[in-house]
Amino acid sequence: MSTVILRHPTLPPDQEIAVLRDALPHYSAAGWQQVPAEELEHRAELKAQAEAEARAAEEGAEPETAAAEVAATDEPGSEPAESTTRPARSRTKAATKKDAEES
């Protein structure tokens, strides 16, 4: 099934959603508007151009430097120095000491 990109006039212009084409009437009734095809094509062209430039820059880089950068980013178990998010809390009730001693 194909999807369409929608945005809502009351939200920031860069906040968009992708929905199935079959659901378009539902979203249109709620005020969502389809992003023009010309804009989507322009974005795709810009993205392809940026990827081509990145590949060209990567090919021009020294092989040792590129390999070191890949190794540094692909290390298993590597984590950022400072976490920006907190771990999720468990939704289950924690067992009390009394419950733990009985089992």
102 Cβ neighbours under 8 A, 6+ residues apart: none
**Which sign, positive or negative, has the C-alpha torsion 37, 39, 40, 42?**
positive
**Token pair of 16, please?**
């968009």
pLDDT digits (tens, 9 = 90+) for 14-27: 899 999 999 999 99
User: In degrees rounded to 5, what are phi and psi of residue 18?
Assistant: -110, 125
**Token pair of 68, please?**
């070191």
pLDDT at residue 78 tops 60: no
The C-alpha atoms of residue 51 and residue 44 are separated, in whole angstroms, by 11
Assessment of whether the complete model's pTM goes beyond 0.75: no
pLDDT digits (tens, 9 = 90+) for 28-64: 999 999 999 999 999 999 999 999 999 988 887 554 5
